[in-house]
Amino acid sequence: MMNELKHKRIALITGANQGVGFQVAKELVADGVTVLVGSRNLANGRTAAEKIGAGAIALQLDVTDRVSLATAAAYIRKEFGRLDLLINNAAISNIRKTQLGLTLQESIEEGCASKVSLDEVRAVWETNVFGTLAVYQAMLPLLRESSDARIVNVSSGIGSLTSMSDPTNFYHKGYGVVYPGSKTAQNAISLAMMIELEDSNIKINLVSPGFTKTNLNGYEGTESLEDGSREVVRVALLGPDGPTGTFTRWPNQAIPW
C-alpha cells in the first residue's frame, strides 16, 4: 500500500483529528491527496483517519515535543521519502477558559494585558508560535525533496495588527495577549519563513479560516466547519504556478499584515 501512496501528493496536517484540520483532511483525501492526520493522541488520530477513510493515515504528532516531531519526520522519510504539503493547523486558544468554564467574552476579559496569566500566555504560545516553528524546522528537509512543495500556516485575521488597531473593527476590543497575540507572532514567523524560502521552489501561504465553530472557541463561532475550511483547502490545492507569500481569507481576500 505504501509503495502505491508514494506516487500521490503527500500532505501532513497538524491537529487534524478534529475541527478545521479534520475537515481539511477529509476534503484533501476526497481530492486524491494522501493525508497524514497529525494528532497528539494517536488513538484520536486513528479514529479520525477511520472516519475519513482510505487515503488518511494517523500520525502521532505533538508540536510541542521535539522527540515526537523527530519520530514523525523519520516515519515520513522512511515511508514516502518526501513531503509535498505541510498544513500547520494545530492551535489552542486558552487554558483558563477550559479550567474555569469561562465564556468566550470572559476569556477575552481575562486576556487583557494588565492581568493576563503569564503561564497561560506561555502555554498557548508554545503551541501556536513555537509549535509552528518547530514543525517547520522538522519538516523542511522533507519538503525540499518535493518538486512541488507548499506550506499553509493556518492563522487568523485577528492576528492582523493593521486590522486590530482600527477602532472601527468589530473585533478590535477582543484583541488580547493570549490567542490574538499568538496569531500575530505566528504571522511574524510565517513572514520570516516566506523571506527564507523566496529563492526556493517551496511556496508558503498564510490563511485565516474565519470565526469557525470549533472546540477552539467553545463552539461559539459563527461559521460552519465546511465554510471555515474553504480557504485552507483552496490554498492547499494550488498548483506549482500558484502564488506564494499571501495572507488570505475566503474567497481569496487579502488580509493586511
- H helices of the chain, where? 2-5, 19-30, 42-52, 66-79, 96-100, 104-110, 118-125, 131-143, 161-164, 179-196, 225-236
Q: Which of 179, 203, 213, 219 is catalytic?
A: 179
Question: Is residue 179 flagged as an active site residue?
Answer: yes
Q: Which of 183, 203, 213, 219 is catalytic?
A: 183
Residue 75 is predicted with a pLDDT of 98
Task: From 125, 134, 131, select the one nearest 94 (Cα to Cα).
Answer: 125
* Number of domain units in the chain: 1
DSSP assigned state of 223: B
pLDDT value of position 107: 78
Q: pTM of the entire structure?
A: 0.92
pLDDT tens figures, 164-206: 999 999 999 999 999 999 999 999 999 999 999 999 999 999 9
Residue with cell 503561564: 119
The range of the structural domain enclosing residue 75 comes to 2-254
The pLDDT, as a whole number, for residue 1 is: 47
Kindly state the helix (H) or strand (E) to which residue 86 belongs, with its residue range. Answer: strand 85-88
Give me the CATH number covering residue 46: 3.40.50.720
Q: Ramachandran region of residue 22, left (φ > 0), alpha (ψ -120 to 50) or beta?
A: alpha
Closest CA to 142 of 89, 80, 197: 80
> Residue 85's closest CA among 4, 154, 21, 148?
148
CA distance readout (Å), 5 to 23, 47, 127? 21, 20, 30
* Interacting residues of 78 by C-beta distance below 8 A, sequence separation 6+: none
Q: Kindly give the parts of the chain with pLDDT less than 70.
A: 1-7, 96-100, 212-222
Residue where the block lists cell 477511520: 50
Buried b (16+ CB within 10 A) or exposed e, 131-159: bbbbbbebbbebbeebeebbbbbbbbbbb
Give the model's pLDDT for residue 212: 61
